[in-house]
Amino acid sequence: MLKNIFGKSKKEKKSLKEQQNLSNNDLIPSHIAIIMDGNGRWAKKRALPRVAGHHEGMKTVRKIARCADDLGIKVLTLYAFSTENWKRPKSEVDYLMGLPEKFLKSFMPEIMERNIRVQMMGEKEALPTSTQTVLNEAMERTKNNSGLILNFAMNYGSRAEIVRAMKDIMVEVSKGNLNVDSIDESTITNYLMTSQLPEPDLLIRTSGEVRLSNFMLWQLAYTEFWFTDTLWPDFNEETLMEAIHAFQKRNRRYGGLKGEEIN
């Protein structure tokens, strides 16, 4: 069981990895992406309004960010709000737009103490001004932090991201700054919102759904997927460790063969 892991020194954090059989850094995902699903169902099971599930899910974000930081994970990307989520009732959308302020206001002292850097990917311009302001302030305040990158996907859709990248590439070609024959996979990668991040090693989706929902379609080409029936508000450190241990057992060949398989 995973216990008493927060607020430890660097030496104690190393012991945590060893206790969880994660002493080999090569087996620890550098970048974990999570589709946080099940907040509404969690609330419905308890005869609570959907926003109660989102509030509880916010607590889980804080818990998992702490755990990821303690384990030495480099990037944690959380699918917080998709381009399709605007279709939800206005009252729910308004509540979701206010969550970044609630989360960052309460967690910011610890974010700074832990040297965490806040980032966001998505169409920020379409978010309410107040939400943009909160996110911009958090990113500005933490821009020099060198620890865990806590990356929120807000108003994010992968297809829209790829279309935007294609348009930007076409503009560069029309200006003569880019030759069509030189365009390759790395070119496209460099025009995506994640250009400065490593591609995810592990994708986790909660609540029993087994689909990507327009999330990081390009970046997840060789990512290991792990699905759980656990609803996001019930997701905890032990569930994260279960996913990481499953990741450790995967044979990542990237389309090739390992030495022992060739012989």
In the predicted structure, residue 23 carries a pLDDT above the cut 80:
no
* Domain range for 101: 27-157+199-249
Report which DSSP code applies to 198. P
Q: What is the DSSP string of 79-98?
A: EEEEGGGGGS-HHHHHHHHH
Orientation angle between helical segments 129-142 and 90-113, nearest 10 degrees: 10
- Residue numbers in the known binding site for Mg(2+) are 37, 224
Assess if residue 184 is contained within a domain: no
Q: 252: pLDDT confidence band, cut at 50, 70 and 90?
A: confident
In the predicted structure, residue 135 carries a pLDDT above the cut 80:
yes
37 is catalytic: yes
Assess if residue 163 is contained within a domain: no
- Residue numbers in the known binding site are 37-42, 50, 54, 82-84, 86, 88, 205, 211-213, 224
List for the chain the helix, strand, coil content (%; round to 5): 50, 15, 35
Report which DSSP code applies to 127. S
How distant is the alpha carbon of residue 173 from its chain centre?
32
- What pLDDT digit, counting tens, does each position of 26-66 carry? 589 999 999 999 999 999 999 999 999 999 999 999 999 99
Assess if residue 214 is contained within a domain: yes
Of the residues 21, 69, 85, 263, only one is catalytic, namely 85
Q: Give the contacts of 93 (CB within 8 A, at least 6 positions apart).
A: 85, 86
CB atoms within 10 A of CB 131: 21
Report which DSSP code applies to 234. G
Domains contained in the chain, number:
1
Per-residue pLDDT at 12: 53
In the predicted structure, residue 2 carries a pLDDT above the cut 50:
no
Assess if residue 166 is contained within a domain: no
Assess if residue 207 is contained within a domain: yes
- What pLDDT digit, counting tens, does each position of 148-158 carry? 999 999 999 99
Assess if residue 104 is contained within a domain: yes
Q: What are phi and psi of 195, to 5 degrees?
A: -55, -30
Are 194 and 172 in contact by the 8 Å Cβ rule? The answer is no
Of the residues 4, 21, 24, 37, only one is catalytic, namely 37
- Residue numbers in the known binding site for substrate are 38-42, 50, 54, 82-84, 86, 88, 205, 211-213
Assess if residue 11 is contained within a domain: no
In the predicted structure, residue 229 carries a pLDDT above the cut 90:
yes
In the predicted structure, residue 7 carries a pLDDT above the cut 90:
no
69 is catalytic: no
Per-residue pLDDT at 256: 65
Q: For residues 118 and 151, what is the distance between their CA atoms, to the nearest angstrom?
A: 6
CATH number of the domain bearing residue 213: 3.40.1180.10
Higher pLDDT pick, 49 / 4: 49
Assess if residue 37 is contained within a domain: yes
Nearest CA-CA partner of 32 in 255, 239, 210: 239
pTM over 0.75: yes
CA separation, residue 177 to residues 163, 169, 180, 189 (Å)? 19, 9, 10, 17
Per-residue pLDDT at 15: 44
Q: 251: pLDDT confidence band, cut at 50, 70 and 90?
A: confident
